[in-house]
Chains A and B, each alone.
Chain A
Amino acid sequence: MGAIREAFDFSDFPLVERIGFGIFCLFLLAFPWLGMDSFGMAVMIQFLLFSLFGMGWNTIGGYGGQVELGKAQYVGIGAYTVAVLMVRWDIPYWFSMPLGVLIALGYSFLIGYPLFRLKGHYFAIATIATSLVLQDIFINWNFVGAAKGIELPIKGNTFLYMQFTNDTYYYYFILAYFLAGVLYMNWFRKSKLGYQLRMIKIDEEAAESLGIDARWCKIKAYAIASAFVAVGGSFIAVYNLYIDPESVMHLELSIMIALMAMLGGAASLWGPIIGAAILVPLDRYLGSWLGGHKELMGVDFMIYAAIIMFIAAFEPRGIWGIVERYRGRRT
């Protein structure tokens, strides 16, 4: 019970942020009724999905300070478990999703153990390497459809398999995950593990001298991050109804996940949400406006890249860092 109370307790945030977040939640709940077009809805779903990914990444990447660039492999595990079980044995989403999360957890412990012997850049490149290896295996594994990927059977509107003909259902579905994620992260940042991680990030040796098992803490945080991402992956499977290694396990997906959280502001509750709120619409709208113009090819990405460079250079703590700096100086 204490944990649940902690999760709902936002009282250590300034009033402005609490009110802001409250309004934002109301906006999210009411969004489908605001008469937005369906592309806007699709973009919103992507935004919530990437916020969820980003929050997961934030446990290990933000609070733990480990630059992790291999989250796509867990998106793949979550998505593939749901898809394979549904196609092969007609198993409903609500059984396969938890199983996918369990597999992701198991796998994350398996590779997390050797992985966290490494530090800094060696760690970052190693996470990319493991993700690429798993992607290669999936590309060649016939049981999971190899490179062809898997098409999920269309079942019509059903809560058991979480398939809907209307995006509004999907929207509330991912919104529920998103809110649960926010609550969990709110608890996590105040939990024992959360404090231990921050201490490790500041000074690993000092933390160890205080009796914290740094490696074990990182492995636990990594597992939590993986579970988050696997849940998001399971959503992709039932939302797109078609997955292949190229689209759910690609290196660029890993980088996007880390990028959004870092850009918004790592190690803060709002950071990944802000990052996704900026990058997802930017990517989709710029792409769909400029994509149609032959002579402007590439300009959308250049704008996108310029914003990323600008923020990295002038406020390494991300956009949330800008907000905090502004506020810190004022008061």
Chain B
Amino acid sequence: MVLADAFIQGILMGFLFALISLGLTIIFGVMDIVNFAHGEFLMLGMYTAYCLSISLGVDPLVTLPLCGAVGALLGLVSYYGLVRYLLRGPMVAQLLGTFGLMLFLRYLAVFLWGIDYRMIKKGLLVGKSLTIGPFHLDMTKVVCALLSLVAFTVVSWIIFKTRVGKALRATSINREAASYMGIKTERMNALAWAMGGITVGIAGGLLANFYYIYPMVGLLFVMIAFATVALGGFGSIKGAFFAGILIGILETVFPIIGHLLKTSIIGPHYKMTIVYLAYFLVVVFRPRGLFGWEQ
């Protein structure tokens, strides 16, 4: 019973983790770059939802498209303003650059909004929970899971079924060959950043419905997003989806097992440990992650 509950809660969290990781894996897939500032994009998405719903007085759900737009803008600005230049350098410089971007955005938020905790108090979903039989589920998480599914479907459709998607994939497989074929790789990169920004902006807008909003909030999620993307295989969309859910389940079910066995060795204090350990073990035996591409 408790286990079943944990399982369901875990899957819901998993959908959220997957949604947050989606943007990271798109960007990585197209241009081999890990965006350290991803969590800060999420944070800014949350602030967008907060500011709009306070100043316009509308439901935070209505602001989701705007959060996506802000995310896209952020992605494009980061790409044209910084990442374009980073691409010339080695991996080390790319990490350094996006790490700088992360610090910059985080403290920009501190400067603009101060260090107060904020929370959206009114809204269709805020504070509601859904009761199915014996299970109480947070309404926002349920909506989040649905939207996560929609986002994955849409992104997969774009990438695998449309012309633009083909161009994106071509760019990610071989940049030079793609540019000989007449694909404007520069534009494809920008598109990847915009798509990454949209998905994470929407994730932020949703998260704002049940999470506190705070300049440092990105760090909490970005580590999980890294583990998710790496576990699933960098650049793999399917991988991010399943790895997200796997991590969600691991993170919630593992400590409950300790509870059921009545031992204190296994417990919530190790729940992140188990996620990282799982990642470590998986990649040691499958160095490309669960669904990563063989090169």
Contacts and interface: CB of A to CB of B under 8 A. Distances in A.
Any A–B CB pair closer than 8 Å: yes
Interface of A: 61, 65, 67, 114-115, 117-122, 124-126, 128-130, 132-133, 136-137, 139-140, 251, 255, 258-259, 262-263, 266, 296-302, 304-309, 311-314, 316-317
A71 to B, nearest CB: 14
Nearest to A132: B276
Contact of B230 (A121, A255, A299): A121
B158 interface: no
A117 B110 contact: no
B287 A305 contact: no
Contact of B99 (A114, A118, A298, A308): A308
Given A67-B95, A312-B89, A312-B96, A117 B284 contact: yes
B103 A262 contact: no
A312 B96 CA distance: 6
Given A121-B234, A130-B280, A312-B100, A136 B108 contact: no
Nearest to B90: A316
Contacts of B101: 305, 309
22 contacts: A65-B90, A67-B91, A114-B280, A114-B284, A119-B287, A121-B28, A121-B34, A122-B230, A126-B230, A126-B280, A129-B276, A129-B279, A132-B223, A133-B273, A263-B96, A301-B104, A302-B108, A308-B103, A312-B93, A313-B85, A316-B86, A316-B89
A61 B92 contact: yes
B244 interface: no
B82 A313 contact: yes
B97 interface: yes
A266 B86 CA distance: 16
Interface string B46-69: 000000000000000000000000
Given A117-B284, A251-B223, A297-B110, 16 more contacts: A61-B92, A67-B91, A67-B92, A122-B289, A125-B279, A129-B276, A129-B280, A133-B277, A133-B280, A136-B273, A298-B111, A305-B100, A305-B104, A311-B96, A313-B86, A316-B89
Contact of A132 (B93, B94, B109, B273): B273
Contacts of B88: 316
A301 B89 contact: no
A115 B281 CA distance: 10
B291 interface: no
Nearest to A313: B85
B92 A262 contact: yes
B251 to A, nearest CB: 13
A266 B215 CA distance: 31
Interface of B: 28, 32, 34, 82, 85-86, 88-97, 99-104, 106-111, 114-115, 215, 223, 226-227, 230, 234, 269-270, 272-273, 276-277, 279-280, 283-284, 287-289
A316 B99 CA distance: 14
B234 A122 contact: yes
Contact of B107 (A266, A305, A308, A317): A305
B97 A126 contact: no
B107 A133 contact: no
Most buried by A among B91, B95, B100: B100
Given A301-B106, A309-B101, A137 B273 contact: yes
B82 A309 contact: yes
A140 B96 contact: no
Contact of B111 (A255, A258, A302, A306): A302
A9 B92 CA distance: 29
Nearest to B111: A298
B85 A314 contact: yes
Contacts of A311: 96
B283 A122 contact: yes
Contacts of A255: 99
Contacts of A140: 269-270
A204 B82 CA distance: 29
A308 B101 CA distance: 9
Given A297-B111, A299-B111, A316 B93 contact: yes
Contacts of A67: 91-92, 95
A302 B101 CA distance: 9
Contacts of A139: 269
A262 B28 contact: no
Contacts of A130: 276, 280
A316 B273 contact: no
B74 to A, nearest CB: 15
A136 B272 contact: yes
Contacts of A305: 100-104, 107
